[in-house]
Amino acid sequence: MVKVKLSELIAPSFYELHRELKAELYDEYWLKGGRGSTKSTFTSIEILLGIIKDPAANAVVSRRYQNELRDTVFGQFEWSAAKMGIAHLFKFQVSPMQIIYLPTGQKIVFKAADNPRKLKSVNLGRGYIKYAWFEEVDQFTGMEEIRNILQSLFRGEGNRKRVVFFSYNPPKSGRAWVNQEAKIAKPGRRVHYSTYLDVPREWLGERFLADAEHLKKVNEMAYRHEYLGEEVGTGLEVFTNIELRTISDEEIATFDRIRQGLDFGYAVDPLAFERMHYDRTRRRLYIFTEISGLNLFNRQFWEKAQRYNDVMTIADSAEPKSIAELKSWGMKIKGAKKGPGSVEFGIKFLQDLEAIIIDPERCPLAAREFINYSLETDRNGIVKSQFPDKDNHSIDSVRYGLSEDMVQTTRRPIDKPLGW
């Protein structure tokens, strides 16, 4: 094994955390920080060291979506093992996705939360699950989902020592569940904050540093969020009428004004299908079913959506070929009518509702996007007048699904654009 100094593996901001892990002082480590803070590098290194040190230890690493695992956390372990000079001691296997410690057969298993059944079936050759790592934990629906996963992973192992890592870039809004959770003092919980400023410059490279400085000059608010990992919500949230809560099966059974919208995904954007109930009298919207994911092609989407073909789906009309294909398979679908100003009109309609109730477990994308959707400022701190066209896929889906309701009535006058 090549000997590498600790200072060559982890940034100085993590030295104390490393000592705490060796002393087994905490059960939970919440690692928050901006881009380039090396929190993922640190976590992967500590799990590799822990596997080698404890011959009974195994690990499970999870992200929200399956297609995010290979190029992020799995690749991070490959890089870290090579950097440590121990890659030859491990077998890196893509299918099923796992890393095997060759001397003992211990495993690091990779599972996604978008298929809960697979998370419940973790096959280990020996030992127990000592480490769990939730990467980009802000993409999960909340602590209820996390607790359910941990109960499945740690079931039946008595009082063995366990360590859970939560790593994330804090969302903009202080209302986001992960920002709220990390502020709760709890025995056995350690919250750690780091930024790229704590990392040796040569590790990051001149291009990274130049990009950070450029963003700092042209958009300080974005710089503080992306690179410093700050909660920068400053009253610019577009929707102040969001209520996140469980919507029960019994409540859903009473819904009688079902609407459905579809925003098609692209290479780096997720597909978003939202099923909702619009209570026109009380002016409340209930979003209770969602199909979403990256690289979710039409055939895959239709296989999931067939059960919801009881009502018309209104989709993004910019994709006529996709609409025609889905229609040929039997889907009740049509394109949304668009016109100048239709985006602004639709968002204002949603803002004007008494409440938008979202079940965060059933609809994690919608919960995340509606909570975090905020107006942007220019380099001088002046609020831009236009609504941002990013991280709004579920919002677009909801707009399409309600487009025919929007043109019929609103509670108070909203300027309706020509050509809607």
Q: What is the pLDDT of residues 175-186, one digit of tens each?
A: 788 998 998 888
Tokens of 147: 């607790």
Q: Note whether residue 232 is domain-resident.
A: no
Examine the domain organization and report whether 333 and 392 are in the same domain: yes
With beta carbons less than 8 A apart as the criterion, state whether 60 and 109 touch. Answer: yes
Domain boundary among 201, 229, 254: 201
* CA 282 – CA 241 distance, rounded (Å): 14
Examine the domain organization and report whether 251 and 389 are in the same domain: yes
Domain count for the chain, please give it.
2
Given this model, what pLDDT does residue 180 score?
87
Choose among 330, 331, 300: nearest CA to 315. 331
Q: Note whether residue 214 is domain-resident.
A: no
* 385-420 per-residue burial string, b: 16 or more CB within 10 A, e: under 16: eebeeebbbbbbbbbbbbbeebeeebeeeeeeeeee
Given this model, what pLDDT does residue 67 score?
79
Report angle CA 278, 295, 307 to the nearest 5 degrees. Answer: 40
Given this model, what pLDDT does residue 121 score?
67
What range does the domain containing 86 cover? 6-201
Read off φ and ψ for residue 156, nearest 5 degrees: 75, 25
CATH classification of the domain holding 79: 3.40.50.300
The pTM (predicted TM-score) of the whole model is: 0.67
Tokens of 332: 């009740």
Q: What does pLDDT average to over the chain? A: 89
Q: Note whether residue 415 is domain-resident.
A: no
* CA 83 – CA 407 distance, rounded (Å): 59
Q: Is 136 a catalytic residue?
A: yes
Examine the domain organization and report whether 65 and 167 are in the same domain: yes
Question: Catalytic: which of 46, 135, 136, 290?
Answer: 136
| Bigger pLDDT: 235 vs 351 | 351
- Residue 145 CB contacts under 8 Å (≥ 6 apart), including other chains: 113, 361
User: What share of residues in the chain are helix, strand, coil (percent, to 5)?
Assistant: 40, 20, 40
Give all strands (DSSP E) within 113-257, no chain letters: 128-135, 163-168, 189-194, 242-244
* CA 121 – CA 123 distance, rounded (Å): 6
Examine the domain organization and report whether 31 and 134 are in the same domain: yes
Examine the domain organization and report whether 51 and 162 are in the same domain: yes
Inform me whether the pLDDT recorded for 279 exceeds 60.
yes
Q: Note whether residue 74 is domain-resident.
A: yes
Choose among 232, 170, 163: nearest CA to 195. 170
Q: Is residue 382 very low, low, confident or very high in pLDDT (cuts 50, 70, 90)?
A: low
Given this model, what pLDDT does residue 349 score?
94
* CA 21 – CA 183 distance, rounded (Å): 21
Domain boundary among 142, 169, 201: 201
- The whole-number average pLDDT for the span 253-258 is 96
* CA 203 – CA 387 distance, rounded (Å): 37
* CA 168 – CA 173 distance, rounded (Å): 14
Q: Note whether residue 28 is domain-resident.
A: yes
Examine the domain organization and report whether 124 and 23 are in the same domain: yes
Q: Count the neighbouring beta carbons within 10 Å of the beta carbon of residue 203.
A: 13
CATH classification of the domain holding 321: 3.30.420.280
